[in-house]
A and B are shown apart, each in its own frame.
Chain A
Amino acid sequence: AQTVTQSQPEMSVQEAETVTLSCTYDTSESDYYLFWYKQPPSRQMILVIRQEAYKQQNATENRFSVNFQKAAKSFSLKISDSQLGDAAMYFCAYRMNRDDKIIFGKGTRLHILP
């Protein structure tokens, strides 16, 4: 069965600094998608970034980028120039291409220190 592991329950970073959130996953599939979702205190789940497994190039969205290491089954999220509004729970998620089931890691709570 596929699993997603986020080994850091909580992290803190100084405002304007860079932070990296870790995610590893376990799968025997070769065709899949990976996602990072953000859940601020408002509770709304927001897609931050996605990565197709067949693409070697790491996805980037403004201050958010990923380090996708397919062989190592690692998918970390880097947040540059951290802002107070980045404070949230961050969830790593995995989806096989051959079905619609999306499974989530347990999340990392990110604190931004002013």
Chain B
Amino acid sequence: DTAVSQTPKYLVTQMGNDKSIKCEQNLGHDTMYWYKQDSKKFLKIMFSYNNKELIINETVPNRFSPKSPDKAHLNLHINSLELGDSAVYFCASSLGGRQNTGELFFGEGSRLTVL
């Protein structure tokens, strides 16, 4: 059983389109994240949700909108895609909270290519 799964794994689309990436975790974790990994492999946090509540929102364009219907799911919707959005997007989850080490469990990543 995959602990953190995200779909699709590969996505090729035209500039200006709208696309979504879905993420689900079956670890019972309270906190979920979206990270963006650019072509230089730099991993940057975008968003974090704890029990469906947005708790971290880094400086990300408004075209990116996360949605968490329940604590096991965190989806990422991107409007009006731009060339610079091409990257690998990682979903991750953790137990979160002060009592836990907070290590991240990652999905396999979704490679988005904008043409």
Contacts and interface: CB of A to CB of B under 8 A. Distances in A.
Interface of A: 33, 35, 37, 39, 43-45, 47, 50, 52, 89, 91, 93, 95, 97-104, 106-107, 109
B56 interface: yes
By DSSP majority rule, is chain A's interface helix, strand, loop, or mixed?
strand
20 contacts: A35-B104, A44-B109, A45-B90, A45-B106, A47-B105, A50-B101, A93-B104, A97-B98, A98-B98, A99-B55, A100-B50, A100-B56, A100-B97, A101-B48, A102-B45, A102-B102, A103-B45, A104-B44, A107-B42, A109-B41
Interface residues of B, number: 27
B75 interface: no
B90 to A, nearest CB: 7
Given A43-B108, A45-B104, 9 more contacts: A33-B103, A37-B104, A43-B88, A89-B41, A97-B102, A99-B55, A101-B48, A107-B42, A107-B43
A98 B50 CA distance: 14
Contacts of B45: 101-103
Contact of B101 (A37, A52, A101, A103): A52
B42 to A, nearest CB: 5
A50 B103 contact: yes
Contacts of A97: 98, 102
